[in-house]
Amino acid sequence: MDQFVSHYMLRLDAKGRVSVPASFRAVLARDGFEGLYCHPALDRPALDAGGNALLAEIQALIAGYAPYSEQREQFALSLYGTSETLKIDSEGRVVLTETLKVHAGITDAATFVGLGHKFRIWEPSRFRAELAEATEKVRAFKQELGTRMAAAKPLGARE
């Protein structure tokens, strides 16, 4: 599989290193990215991370704005200017910099969460709260969608 899926909670060691889940390292290897591209998430107290697929998404987003436009400059500053390429050591670990840890509130543990083409790194309790909120919103959306589909389809209609 070439997608980041599932979630894993891992502890930082005494030197501040944390293991990147093996399945995530395998996706990065297939993607051909050496290391781990990481930046503070723009709208969450978490870190966005990945490889070439994440970089391609960022490049496409920025390229959608006119050269030298304010929006292009702001996105480039926010995404490239705060990003770091972290080295994955021979044991599959990375050292999260102090700047990244402070943004995400990470101290002694981190939760890696697959999002398909990228993954997020969260402080575990923040992840649990975010997951609970997201689950509640998805359930409400599913119910709303089911209600709309039922209203649009006459009773007794055949497929």
**Nearest Cα to Cα of residue 79 among 113, 114, 118, 115:** 118
Q: Regarding predicted confidence, which is higher, 143 or 106? A: 106
**Ranges of each domain in the chain:** 7-123
Amino acid 158: pLDDT = 55
Cβ proximity of 54 and 4 under 8 Å? no
Contacts of 43 (CB under 8 A, 6+ apart): none
Amino acid 157: pLDDT = 59
The Cα–Cα gap between 14 and 84 comes to 22
Q: Give pTM, 2 decimals.
A: 0.89
Residue 159 has pLDDT above 80, yes or no: no
pLDDT tens, position by position, 29-67: 999 998 999 999 999 999 999 999 999 999 999 999 999
Percent of the chain at pLDDT exceeding 90: 87
Amino acid 123: pLDDT = 98
Amino acid 110: pLDDT = 98
Asked: is 7-123 a CATH 3.40.1550.20 domain? The reply is yes
